[in-house]
Amino acid sequence: MITRRSLLSTIPAASLLRAQASAVTQVKIDADRVIARVNPMIFGQFIEHLGRCIYGGIYEEGSPLADAQGYRKDVEAAVKRLNPPVLRWPGGNFVSSYHWEDGIGPKDQRPRRFDTAWFAVESNRFGTNEFLEYCRRIHAEPYLCINLGTGTIEEAANWVEYCNGVEDTHYANLRRKHGHAEPYNVKYWGLGNEIYGMWQAGHKSAEDYAKVALEAAKMMKWVDPSIHLIACGAGDPQWNTTVLEMLGPVVDYLSVHFYTGSDDYYETLASVKNVERLLREADGAIEFATAKLRGKPRPPVEFPLRTKRIEIAFDEWNVWYRRRDGRDRSVKAKLEEPYNLRDALWTASMLHVFQRWGDKVTMANLAQMVNVIAPIMTSPQGMYLQPTFFPLELYRARCGAEVVSSACTGPVFESKAMGPVDYLDVCVTRGGGTLMVGVVNRHQDRALPARFEINGAKFGRAGKVYSIHGPSPDSRNTLERPSEVTLASRAYAEFGSPAFTFEFPAHSVTLLELS
């Protein structure tokens, strides 16, 4: 095997890369060695009152493409293909000046407000009941994020009562009056969004945030002790530690957000290594805060305190750099990022990261689901799917619940920011007697072979190959040409157990299904 280090001293850089790129990647899979369990919640989505995500996206009253309640039927069908187990709402930055009571009751009486997050007018015609009804239709768990920018802790507790209350009390009765006799039992509640950021309405220091979030958490749990809480994390270990030292006993998750991207093909693909760094740091903060809390008296709060380890909710992630028009008042269609095939490769690699981190990252939410930095794009007349849609759909539908050990040795490229990065990114899951070998070939213009050796289980020769590729890494779909990049599948009879070789097309995502 040609290794990077042994060649470095003797061969000049350009020919080194050429030599490496032609090498065969060796992949040793231990089908019996489970290294992580994947929570399906990693395939979650996020919708925000921003641009055309909600209005003109999932909801368009009066459109011939919408049903009587205003939900776009074509979009709903596409969302069902993504099959998200959890849907986060209403923001994002939007939530930090959102008052949920504006969005309930008769639609024509709801106030129109200036949205200070995105410099736009919010009609409030889509609110709590419209959102929870949407979750019911697509079979997703709702995940509500509270306003800890300009909102109060009482307002947050009232929201829990409106959604989940069962007694004869004002907000539970208001829900009944609005036509919803049964409680919704909303389980997931976020304690504010990106409160560390100056761009956020009511942004705060870690100490100030932790104090108010703890008080909100108490009141919300007093209303419904069964809810699960997500603390607002940051890409800053100091913030995370301060927040967790205070909130540790009451929250279930720490949130992480990540956006990346540039026109540099390889640097963008390499950025997933940065995500692993972020995760190590978030995990380290959880570890550190938990250790500091050990042995300390637990707050006397009259609801069951968390006993499990704090998990990570990666509740915003995506490529986002082309459309930074969120606060441009003249733009209605904000953040409508056009995605290409390279971005689909990045998306698949992110899913690999979440799979490998399955024991710690137990929820993730792509930002966002429709029109706004999204895999699903609409116009008043129709819709199309961006390349990033396909890895999300494929992995959600086909991957197993357990990640098994796979060791890879093969050619790498040098990223300026992240150092050496494998051309082939491999992640293997199993489930239901099937092994799913996910492979992203990051090479921009070369097909690359890999030699697989599988230990611990016997597989038949016949299986299936799913692949996402297209003529160029820049290939993308549009309303006029919706199928430049799609998902293809075919039967394949040449797998061999315990070993076989397979060649992966340049700039592609492939899932090999072995039974």
Residues making contact with ligand AHR (CB under 6 A): 48, 91-93, 193-194, 316, 367-368
- 93 vs 406, beta carbon nearer ligand AHR: 93
- 213 vs 468, beta carbon nearer ligand AHR: 213
DSSP per-residue letters across 302-320: SSPPP-SPPEEEEEEEEE-
- 93 vs 242, beta carbon nearer ligand AHR: 93
- Annotated active-site residue in 48, 194, 245, 337: 194
Q: Is 194 a catalytic residue?
A: yes
Closest separation in Å from C-beta 440 to ligand AHR: 24
Closest separation in Å from C-beta 186 to ligand AHR: 20
Element holding 361 (H helix, E strand): strand 361-367
Closest separation in Å from C-beta 256 to ligand AHR: 12
For helices 206-223 and 237-247, give the axis angle rounded to 10 degrees: 40
Phi, psi dihedrals of residue 251, rounded to the nearest 5°: -100, 160
Q: Is 316 a catalytic residue?
A: yes
Phi, psi dihedrals of residue 141, rounded to the nearest 5°: -75, 130
**CB-facing half-sphere around the CA of 331: CA atoms within 13 A:** 14
Nearest to 74 by CA among 366, 385, 339, 341: 385
Nearest-CB residue to ligand AHR?
Answer: 92
- 39 vs 193, beta carbon nearer ligand AHR: 193
Closest separation in Å from C-beta 92 to ligand AHR: 3
Nearest to 101 by CA among 68, 69, 71, 124: 124
- Annotated active-site residue in 48, 141, 245, 316: 316
Tokens of 416: 């300026």
C-alpha 262 chain-centroid distance: 20
Nearest to 455 by CA among 26, 37, 32, 24: 32
- 201 vs 436, beta carbon nearer ligand AHR: 201
Closest separation in Å from C-beta 315 to ligand AHR: 9
Q: If 0-12 CB within 10 Å is exposed, 13-18 middle and 19+ buried, where does residue 295 land?
A: exposed
Active site residues: 194, 316
